[in-house]
Amino acid sequence: MKTNYVLVDYENVQVQSLSLLKGDHFHVRVFLGPNNTKLPVDLVLAMQELGERAEYVVLETSGRNALDFHIAYYLGALASAEPSGFFHIISGDTGFDPLIQHLKKKENFSCTVSLY
């Protein structure tokens, strides 16, 4: 089964559960801004269960669209390392749409953006 990378914009979407991401083919990155200092215990425990397949990416400084740029960077790095993977951005921000449309035209690229 292909690897599914789930990139969560925690500034915009406070994910409460990762219960659908139990399989070994799911890798989760939760992106946190410098003001995201408290996380729900359920999310922390779910990330811990994923082990090496989970990572928190914590920004040290804030700025307009700073977290979005980090997500875009990680999306590119992951897609370069594993071009056959599936990529999912969980965000409340529509700013990713032009990037995703561009990537889908350039390569055999599979990405979805879920808005909440």
Is residue 99 one of the residues assigned to a domain? yes
Is residue 82 one of the residues assigned to a domain? yes
Is residue 9 one of the residues assigned to a domain? no
CB 21 within 8 A of CB 103: no
More confident residue, 70 or 96: 70
CB 16 within 8 A of CB 43: yes
Is residue 6 one of the residues assigned to a domain? no
Please list, in sequence order, all residues whose beta carbon lies within 8 angstroms of the beta carbon of residue 44, skipping any fewer than 6 positions away.
Answer: none
pLDDT at 111 over 80: no
Mean pLDDT of the chain: 88
> What's the total number of domains in the chain?
1
Q: Domain span at residue 48?
A: 19-111
Is residue 10 one of the residues assigned to a domain? no
Q: Say what the pLDDT of residue 116 is.
A: 54
State pLDDT tens for residues 20-43. Answer: 888 899 999 999 999 998 999 999
Region 62-80 average pLDDT: 91
CB 108 within 8 A of CB 83: yes
